[in-house]
Amino acid sequence: MGWEPNPEQLAAIETRGRVFVSAGAGTGKTAVLVERFVRAVCDEGLDVESLLVITYTKRAAGELRTRIRTELVSRGRLDLARRIDTAWISTIHGFCLRLLKSHPFAAGIDPRFRVLDESQSRVLQSEAFEAALEEFLNGEEDAEAIVAPRSRLPKCVADRAAEEGLAQQGAVRVVVQFLLRQRVQETRFSGADLAGQ
């Protein structure tokens, strides 16, 4: 170990089991995670692929992987350093992607699936919203039929709505009513336009 951890860092390193490390920039989070990982595989004999390390960014995951490899090499564990690329060190998105790629049938998805790039995602989101809005606006229901009464909402949603002061006159109701008004305005515009011909 090329640095000396302070008491809080040492506690985070030595605590066994699942640990969530959250701290500000420059506090030594990465060093703590590197040391935890290295001790787990070197001292406790855990397999490199049996540990899961989730970071917020791809850059942080890459840096963590590099620093773990460097520390393993410095401890003479070239065997483990060579295997570090198979370790589960990634963002939450990377973790989910790897898990789905490894077990597509268990997840009920086509094994040839791929992740959309940002522009494809925006196009599909827009198309899905337009289709859902079109279906909604062409439906027979009114806002009262569509918005579930608070008593029929899941408890967690109802509680959150109450916290936010949304309750019965929630944000969903406001949006639905706005969309219905837009539908009426569009209908009037279309009617006025046709009458003018």
pLDDT of residue 195 exceeding 50: no
Report how far residue 56's alpha carbon sits from residue 66's, in angstroms, rounded to the nearest whole number.
16
Q: Give the phi and the psi of residue 168 in degrees, each rounded to 5.
A: -65, -40
pLDDT of residue 44 exceeding 80: yes
Residues with Cβ within 8 Å of residue 133, at least 6 apart in sequence: 179
- Predicted confidence at residue 143, as pLDDT, reads 46
**pLDDT class of 180 with cuts at 50, 70, 90:** low
Choose between 107 and 187: higher pLDDT. 107
Report how far residue 57's alpha carbon sits from residue 90's, in angstroms, rounded to the nearest whole number.
8
Q: How many CB atoms lie within 10 A of CB 175?
A: 12
Lowest mean pLDDT among 2-16, 34-48, 49-63, 168-182: 168-182
- Predicted confidence at residue 1, as pLDDT, reads 56
Residue ranges of domains in the chain, CATH in brackets: 7-107 (3.40.50.300), 118-192 (no CATH)
Report how far residue 191's alpha carbon sits from residue 197's, in angstroms, rounded to the nearest whole number.
10
**146-166 average pLDDT score:** 47
Nearest residue to 52 via CA among 108, 107, 92: 92
Kindly tell me the burial class for residue 45, based on how many C-beta atoms sit within 10 Å of its own C-beta (0-12, 13-18, 19 or more).
exposed
Q: Which of 63-72, 95-104, 120-129 has the highest mean pLDDT?
A: 63-72
Kindly tell me the burial class for residue 118, based on how many C-beta atoms sit within 10 Å of its own C-beta (0-12, 13-18, 19 or more).
exposed
Say what the pTM is.
0.57
**42-69 average pLDDT score:** 91
Average pLDDT value over all residues in the chain: 74
- Predicted confidence at residue 139, as pLDDT, reads 64
Report how far residue 76's alpha carbon sits from residue 79's, in angstroms, rounded to the nearest whole number.
9
**162-173 average pLDDT score:** 46
